[in-house]
Amino acid sequence: MLEIPSAGWFRWKKNHCSKFEKSVPYALLCQVAGLKEYISANPALKFESTTTVVHSKFAHVSVSNGENGHDVETEAHDEFYDAIAGDSSSSSEDEDEESDDNGEVDQKDARVKLRNVSWAISSIAVKRTKASVTNKELDPNANSTVIDPSQFCGSLHKGKDENDSNCWSSPSGKGFMIRGKSYLKDNAKVMGGEPLLKLLAVDWFTVDKSIDRIALHPKCLVQSEAGKKLPFILVINLQVPAKPNYSLVLYYAAERPPKKNSLLAKFVDGSDMFRDARFKLIPSIVEGYWMVKRAVGTKACLLGKAVTCKYFRQDNFLEIDVDIGSSSVARGVIGLVLGYVTSLVVDLAILIEAKEEEELPEYILGTVRLNRVKLDSAVHLDG
């Protein structure tokens, strides 16, 4: 047992720790002393093996106070357990439990490995090429139109390389996870492929108030001679609430018109209710501050359910006006993004949510990367 010379003990106690009685070491020493006295009072316990479990209901501890000479009695109500005894007495049980645990771990590992293998197989099996998506969603009998990007130019220029700023580019869909072929059964998602539609240009406008049906504006790309010759154009008008207000307009084009009864055709010519239930956007902050990444996230969002969307179908185009200011949550997030926009690289993917078996796997309609956009570079557009 632990023994401490009384002279040195009282000197240390008086000079270094006036409140030692309230400390954890003091309580432990009291319990050790109590255990020592308890065993001394029961000689039979001295010859028990180390497998003995000692239950101490109480222990009187006499500590002489060096200042007034009085004894202080404390009572402990703790149970002392010999760890060696526990190990030796339950060794056989531990072996059985360990074998059971190992069996459970092996089964879990097997399930995890099987799931990983099945996920990899499903990812390979459902990976669509752009050609297969094009044939399913666009009319194969229509003449394919060659899209010349040099004929289209927006107010925001296309980036020359990754180091360019205040520009846009069109990344692949590999950075986005979309619903796989077996999603309705196992919720498995797969890596996105190449976008179906080609991003032609991006306009970055300031406006006095939000403008709907921007595709009808004389300065809009859709009204150009080259734009009128395209089989189909999807216009996404993201209306950003601020002072002043902004409009980020994305123009996507297809080489052929939508195929009849395809998911794209149902969306383009369907009801607003159907469009609201299917129009989906996936955001991703590629570069930026942690708090902005946390606020934006990477979770897919049904824009028609989160904010107010207006749809305008005419001639060879469909325009979607997205009023970000219609939601207080979206307004707060976009306000945070605008505060750091000059240091952000943002990727967006636009798609039509697949909900039926025959619509799976999903495909990406279009993507855009906004690289460190400057607010003051926006061009004013008259209403």
pLDDT tens digits for 219-244?
999 999 999 999 999 999 999 999 89
Does the pLDDT at position 86 exceed 70? no
How many domains, in total, are found in the chain? 1
Spell out a b/e string for 122-136, using b for 16 or more CB atoms within 10 Å of the CB, else e. bbeebebeeeebbeb
Task: Report whether 281 contacts 348 (CB < 8 A).
Answer: yes
Does the pLDDT at position 204 exceed 50? yes
Does the pLDDT at position 213 exceed 60? yes
Q: What's the token pair of residue 377?
A: 């570079």
d(CA 321, CA 378): 18
The answer to the question of residue 243 being in a domain is yes
The answer to the question of residue 191 being in a domain is yes
pLDDT tens digits for 54-70?
444 444 444 444 444 44
Say which DSSP state 140 is in: T
Average pLDDT of 266-273?
A: 97
The answer to the question of residue 177 being in a domain is yes
Rounded mean pLDDT of the chain?
80
d(CA 346, CA 368): 8
Does the pLDDT at position 281 exceed 90? yes
117: exposed, middle or buried (Cβ count in 10 Å: 0-12, 13-18, 19+): exposed
d(CA 172, CA 369): 10
- Give the pLDDT of residue 62: 43
Determine the structural domain holding residue 138 and report its residue range.
Answer: 131-380
d(CA 140, CA 119): 32
pLDDT tens digits for 246-266?
999 999 999 999 999 999 999
pLDDT tens digits for 155-192?
999 999 888 999 999 999 999 999 999 999 999 999 99
Q: Which residue has the higher pLDDT, 320 or 105?
A: 320
d(CA 120, CA 101): 28
- Could you give the C-alpha distances from 183 to 43, 58, 190, 359, in angstroms and in order? 72, 64, 9, 11
Task: Report whether 136 contacts 359 (CB < 8 A).
Answer: no
d(CA 336, CA 318): 30
The answer to the question of residue 230 being in a domain is yes
- Could you give the C-alpha distances from 60 to 21, 52, 156, 348, in angstroms and in order? 16, 21, 85, 73
The answer to the question of residue 323 being in a domain is yes
d(CA 251, CA 149): 11
- Give the pLDDT of residue 126: 42
Task: Report whether 232 contacts 316 (CB < 8 A).
Answer: yes
pLDDT tens digits for 87-146?
444 444 444 444 455 555 555 555 555 455 544 544 444 444 678 899 999 999 999 999
Task: Report whether 181 contacts 126 (CB < 8 A).
Answer: yes
Phi, psi of 233 (to 5 degrees): -130, 135
Does the pLDDT at position 381 exceed 70? yes
Percent of the chain with pLDDT over 70: 66
Phi, psi of 93 (to 5 degrees): -65, -40
Average pLDDT of 28-48?
A: 60
Task: Report whether 268 contacts 288 (CB < 8 A).
Answer: no
The answer to the question of residue 369 being in a domain is yes
- Give the pLDDT of residue 382: 85
Widest CA span in the chain: 109
The answer to the question of residue 215 being in a domain is yes
d(CA 273, CA 290): 36
Strand partners, 245: 207
- Give the pLDDT of residue 42: 61
Whole-prediction pTM? 0.68
Q: How confident is the model at residue 74 (pLDDT cuts 50, 70, 90)?
A: very low
The answer to the question of residue 25 being in a domain is no
Q: How confident is the model at residue 9 (pLDDT cuts 50, 70, 90)?
A: low
- Give the pLDDT of residue 63: 41
Nearest Cα neighbor of 167 from 363, 344, 354, 361 is 344
- Give the pLDDT of residue 67: 43
- Give the pLDDT of residue 308: 97
